[in-house]
Chains A and B, each alone.
Chain A
Amino acid sequence: MKISAWGRYPYISSEQVQLDNSSLWSEPFIVNGNLRSYGDAALSRKHLNTLKYNKFLNFDYISGLLTCDAGILLSEVIEVFLPRGFFPLVVPGTKLITIGGALACDIHGKNHHSYGCFSNSVDSFKLLLPNNQILFCNRNINTEYFHATCGGMGLTGIILEISFYLKKINSKWINQKSIKNKNLIETFDSFEYYNQIPYSVAWIDCLARKKNLGRSILMVGDFCNDGDLSFKQPKKLNVPFNFPSFILNSFSVKLFNNFYYRKFPAGVSENKVLYEDFFFPLDSIQNWNRIYGKNGFIQFQFILPKEVSFIGLESILNKISNSQLGSFLAVLKLYGKSNDNWLSFPIEGYSLALDFKMSSDLPNFIEKLTDEVIEFGGRIYLAKDALLKKEQFDISYEKGNEFREFRIKNQLHKYFSSLQSQRIGI
Chain B
Amino acid sequence: MLSIIDLRVNYGKVRAIQGASLRVEAGQLVSIVGSNGAGKSTILQAISGLVPVSGGEIWFDGERLDRLPAHEIVRRGIAHVPEGRALFGRLTVLENLELGAYARQYTRREFDRVLEEVCTMFPILKKRARQKAGTLSGGEQQMLAIARGLMLRPRLLMLDEPSLGLMPSRVSQIFETLSQIKRRDLTIVLVEQNVQESLELADYAYVLQTGRVVLEGPGDVLLQQDMIRQAYLGM
Q: Is B one of A's binding partners?
A: no
Interface residues of B (CB under 8 A from A): none
